[in-house]
Structures are given as C-alpha cells and as structure tokens.
Chain A
Amino acid sequence: AQKITQTQPGMFVQEKEAVTLDCTYDTSDPSYGLFWYKQPSSGEMIFLIYQGSYDQQNATEGRYSLNFQKARKSANLVISASQLGDSAMYFCAMREAGTNAGKSTFGDGTTLTVKP
C-alpha cells in the first residue's frame, strides 16, 4: 500500500515567490524519517532535507524548509524565493524502523515549474 502521498502532480510558481509542495504519509511506527529529494531533468537524485519523527523543530536547509505536522502526518516542503533552477521533480520519501528498518518509500512526485 502506498505510504507516501503527493497530491500535486504539477505545480507552477513565479520566480522569487515561495511555493509549498504537499506530502502526507502513513505509518504506525513511532520512529521514522522523512526526506525530500529533487530530480532535475538531467535525471540525478539530489537530497534536499531531512526531518526525524522525534525532532521538535522543523528542518531548514537554506531556501528549503520542511513544515512537519506530526498529528496530521504531513511533511510539506517549502521553497522560498524560487529560482529558475528549482524547476524539477520533487519526491517525498519515508524511512521506517522496526521490521522495515532501512527501507525507504517514495511518493509519485510533484513536477515544479518556475516561471520567469
């Protein structure tokens, strides 16, 4: 069963504006990690940001921040001051513990297009 849901197949944002990419997840494990990866048109996978389930504060990495709402099981990626180079596919992923230790499950992705 799909454990990561990204409901926005495609998003558009104007250059220099902020954009939020949605991600919801499903797990019964109290210990898990949430990740966002970027895949440009060239195809490589680039790690952006990580949030642990026990982290008290939302993760931030430069222009990227993760809006972690544990009770709602959401982990939205916020990109501030969008740049043309942010145009890419973005994947939310979850790493569980317990019997699924080490496995990472990916959502279907959101294609972000930044308009000049």
Chain B
Amino acid sequence: NAGVTQTPKFQVLKTGQSMTLQCAQDMNHEYMSWYRQDPGMGLRLIHYSVGAGITDQGEVPNGYNVSRSTTEDFPLRLLSAAPSQTSVYFCASRRGLTGELFFGEGSRLTVL
C-alpha cells in the first residue's frame, strides 16, 4: 500500500520561482490537507479539502494555492517563493471528518 505519496522529497528554489508539490493518496480518503513544519515547531495548516472540487484555507494560506480536481490528488502550488517559505511540508489525508491523519513522508523545501 502506497498510502500518501509526496513529491519531490527535496527541492531548492530561488526567490520568486514557482513550483508545485504533488500529493497523491490511494485510500479513497475524502479529506486532504497540507501542513508546514518549521524547525522545532508543530504543524500549521495551509489549505485543506473535504472532497473533490472543495478547498478551503487553513491557518497560513498566503503564498500558496491548491486545487482538488480528483479524490486522489491535492497539489500545493507556491506562486512566488520567498525565504519565509523554507520549511518541511506534509500532505495528509483522512477518511471523512473524523479519525487519524495519514501523512506523507514530507517535502523539504529551501528557498534561497
């Protein structure tokens, strides 16, 4: 079972560049979300989706864009990368609105 798959695992960007972090899950989960984790801190919610075609903002949405065209995929787009977006990004999914989150392995992004 693949679970939640994130790509790439590592990425270095220059300020102003754009990129997309990919997230795919094969568990038919309705709920998907993106978090960022800064050093020594917890996870902060960027965007989430409760189903295909439905997305909403989390705690720290500025500078990020998402879409959910299928149940399986939930890409996160950085529109114009800034050094403040240097972080580890986690994609997570859950069946329905309850239950535990299933996480991807994380994507480490460095913006120079």
Contact = CB atoms under 8 A, between A and B. Distances in A.
A43 B100 contact: no
Contacts of B40: 108-109
A102 B92 CA distance: 12
B40 to A, nearest CB: 8
B75 interface: no
A104 B33 contact: yes
A101 B105 contact: no
A72 interface: no
A31 B105 CA distance: 30
Nearest to A35: B100
A22 to B, nearest CB: 14
Interface string B86-99: 00101010100111
A106 interface: yes
A68 B43 CA distance: 22
Contact of B41 (A33, A37, A103, A109): A109
A91 B102 CA distance: 14
Given A43-B88, A44-B105, A44-B106, A106 B98 contact: no
A53 to B, nearest CB: 11
B101 A45 contact: yes
Nearest to B33: A104
A108 B44 CA distance: 10
B41 A101 contact: no
Interface in A53-109: 91, 93, 95, 97, 101-109
24 contacts: A4-B42, A33-B98, A35-B100, A37-B101, A43-B105, A43-B106, A44-B106, A45-B103, A47-B100, A47-B101, A91-B42, A95-B97, A95-B98, A97-B97, A101-B50, A102-B50, A103-B58, A105-B59, A106-B35, A108-B40, A108-B41, A108-B42, A109-B40, A109-B41
Interface of B: 31, 33, 35, 40-45, 48, 50, 58-59, 88, 90, 92, 94, 97-103, 105-106
Interface of A: 4, 6, 33, 35, 37, 43-45, 47, 50, 91, 93, 95, 97, 101-109
